[in-house]
Amino acid sequence: MPGEAPRRGHNPSGAGTVLQRRDGRWQAALMVDGVRRSVYAATEREARKKLAELKQQVAQAGVLTAPGKLTVDDLLRQWLETVRPTLKPRTIYDYEALARRYISPAIGKLRLSRLSPSQVQKLYADLQARGLDRAPAQVHAVLHRACQLAVLWRLLPENPCDRVVKPGYAAPRREVWNRQQVQAFLAGTQEHWLQPLWTLAAVSGCRLGELLALSWDAVDLEAGHISIRRNLARIDREWVYSTPKTQAGTRVIALPPQGVGALRKQRAQQAAWRLKAGPEWQDSGLVFTRTNGQPVYAPVVCHALESVCKQLGLPKLTPHGLRHLHASLLLAEGVPITDVSQRLGHSNVAITGAVYAHALPGQGQRAAECIGRALGGAAMG
């Protein structure tokens, strides 16, 4: 009733306040480090829900920023801190790089409350005008997820990224070598110190990070298989191990004789390095190392492979291209896609089918034969 004192709902001490205003609305308030936020609702229950969301924001981001002062950069930092426990270190590093390189210079200082779909669309258009094929779609994914968190925390009434023309990206068809080119590559790199790594990539289909993390205790030369348990990446000048992206990524891969031979060659090469290095040898337990025993930098592997391809007159291929080569050759030989998917560590066969549909042999001919049988002898006018 008008003139009555505000009615305070029951709320434990130190957990914020919930009270009913003179105009009948309910107000929830929370103060953290001198910053006070108030939210309003028609009912006490709704006010408590909003208070719980404020507490969640503090618990996850450690700060409570007034919506009017929050910038896009502030939101990106809070979002990254919120999702950090649920993502791989490399993924966080890539998200931070995208924000730093593309989002912050353009709209980072902009007040979040003033961020409009037209400004987001302009950001994408500017990136596309710079000839960046994949970046606009990557930036959209990051900005959309960050703004979605802002909607959840009621910092934004809606996600501005929902009302833009989403930038598309179609990955180019990956060209792979034929059998003759593979054989020429293996023959021409016999003396290269990275040849065992490249060979194992081609015969196992492993990702480069998985091979760089491979340790000798995960190798069984007698049984002829390797166990993939982790990835290795260099992030901010530190070596970071992580588990595979999905449960399917942890797997045992059977090797052909060429794979076992590559590992035996690497073991002998590494023993020679160890002997030469003497006390300078740093035992990491890894299969693929530098001459001092420390991990191999991924860019070194990539640059060396590009250089060798050029010397041998072969089409350029990346270490990840060796993984695609492995899958394509298996599918061309008629290996069931389920088996190929397991070797690659895909979470489901649908992913393998989507990526390698073009490599499945005889699909067009089989389709023609099937529709022919279905129509029987019917004549077509």
DSSP tally for the chain: helices H, then strands E: 15, 9
Predicted local distance difference test score (pLDDT) of residue 13? 34
How many whole angstroms separate alpha carbon 165 and alpha carbon 243?
35
Radius of gyration of the chain (CA): 28
Unique residue bearing structure tokens 């990956």: 174
Question: pLDDT tens digits, residue range 79-135?
Answer: 998 898 888 888 999 999 999 999 999 999 999 989 999 999 999 999 999 999 899
Say how many C-beta atoms besides its own lie within 10 A of residue 258's C-beta. 12
Predicted local distance difference test score (pLDDT) of residue 209? 95
Instruction: Collapse the DSSP code of 332 into the 3-class scheme (helix H, G, I; strand E, B; otherwise coil) and give the result.
Output: helix
Predicted local distance difference test score (pLDDT) of residue 374? 57
Flag residues of the chain having pLDDT under 50: 1-6, 8-14, 380-381
Whether the CA torsion 190, 192, 196, 198 is positive or negative: it is negative
How many whole angstroms separate alpha carbon 308 and alpha carbon 314?
8
How many whole angstroms separate alpha carbon 215 and alpha carbon 277?
20
Instruction: Name the residue among 61, 167, 70 with its Cα closest to residue 115.
Output: 70
pTM value is: 0.72
Instruction: Name the residue among 63, 77, 75, 73 with its Cα closest to residue 34.
Output: 63
Predicted local distance difference test score (pLDDT) of residue 175? 73
Predicted local distance difference test score (pLDDT) of residue 53? 77
The dihedral region occupied by 33, where left means phi > 0, alpha psi between -120 and 50, and beta the remainder, is left
Rounded to 10°, the helix 195-204/179-188 angle is 150
- Pair 64, 58: CB distance under 8 Å: yes
Predicted local distance difference test score (pLDDT) of residue 88? 87
How many whole angstroms separate alpha carbon 292 and alpha carbon 290?
5
